Amino acid sequence: MKFIKKKIVVINYTGTVGKTTIAANLLWPRMGGAPLYAIESINETAENLGLDVEKLRGNAFRELFKRLMLEDQAIIDVGASNVEDFMANLEEFDEAHEEVDYFVIPVTSGTKEQKETVSMISSLASLGVPPEKILVLFNRVKKDVETEFPIIFAFHQRASVFTLNPACAVFESELFDALSIHRISMQSVMEDDTDYKALLKDKKASAQERDRWSDMYGLKLLCKGVNRKLDGVFAALFSLEVIK
């Protein structure tokens, strides 16, 4: 998978849709070391997954805007606790949204989450953000995107103010919860060259050590399969022509 150099905001009005997971495990590994900013004051950030994150508050928009002007690429993970401040500043700083290449909006299948996503899309569109820069990412999909996200598809039929692609879907996996528990990112697991399978053959090791090795071995196997799927999601999300 080739890297892209873009400035991407991951945002939604509602929490618990996987914004930080998407920023840390889908975007960051495929953006060649892009700086990662967390606009958050309450909830966990990608820092909790072992990544280098700079935390800012939503009301520190002037500082963020300055960073965006200076950076060639960036990932901005806007937490639900700061999204109102962020959007208010995005409106106040005229045409500030033009410094952002894409707004990625993760959504899960709950009715509340879908309705909040419609509100998020509408807010961005009202600021003048064009449809090709507003990208919906279906997260924690169980089986079928269109069946599980009827509100999003119906809204797109009424108002094509955002980009809708059913291939932009991350399916449910136990991996992401496990990574959160271990406070580690997919990238870290995949870069770990420890042979956990060989270590497990050591019968003299403590039960605690063997349990940890077993967990890590399972995580590495899960990561391989999920990572291949995320490569496809990433390509679908940004389309091949922008992958330089």
Per-residue pLDDT, 243: 38
Number of domains in the chain: 1
Angle between helices 207-238 and 174-182 (to 10 degrees): 120
Model confidence pLDDT, tens digit, residues 196-227: 999 998 888 898 999 989 998 999 999 999 99
Mean pLDDT, consecutive 10-residue segments, the chain of 244 residues?
Answer: 84 94 94 88 59 73 84 92 90 88 98 98 97 98 98 97 98 92 88 91 89 91 94 89 39
Flag whether 38 is in a domain.
Answer: yes
- Domain residues for the domain of 153 are 7-173
Flag whether 106 is in a domain.
Answer: yes
Could you tell me the CATH number of the domain that includes residue 56?
Answer: 3.40.50.300
Which amino acid is present at 4?
A: I
Model confidence pLDDT, tens digit, residues 139-157: 999 999 999 999 999 999 9
Flag whether 114 is in a domain.
Answer: yes
Task: Please check whether residue 238 is in contact with residue 174, taking contact to mean a CB–CB distance below 8 angstroms.
Answer: no
Flag whether 213 is in a domain.
Answer: no
Tokens read off for 138 = 């279906």
Flag whether 34 is in a domain.
Answer: yes
Per-residue pLDDT, 144: 98
Per-residue pLDDT, 106: 98
Per-residue pLDDT, 193: 93
Flag whether 162 is in a domain.
Answer: yes
Flag whether 203 is in a domain.
Answer: no
CA distance to 112, 124, 128, 169, per residue, from 158 (Å): 19, 16, 18, 22
Flag whether 74 is in a domain.
Answer: yes
Per-residue pLDDT, 45: 57
pTM of the full predicted structure? 0.90
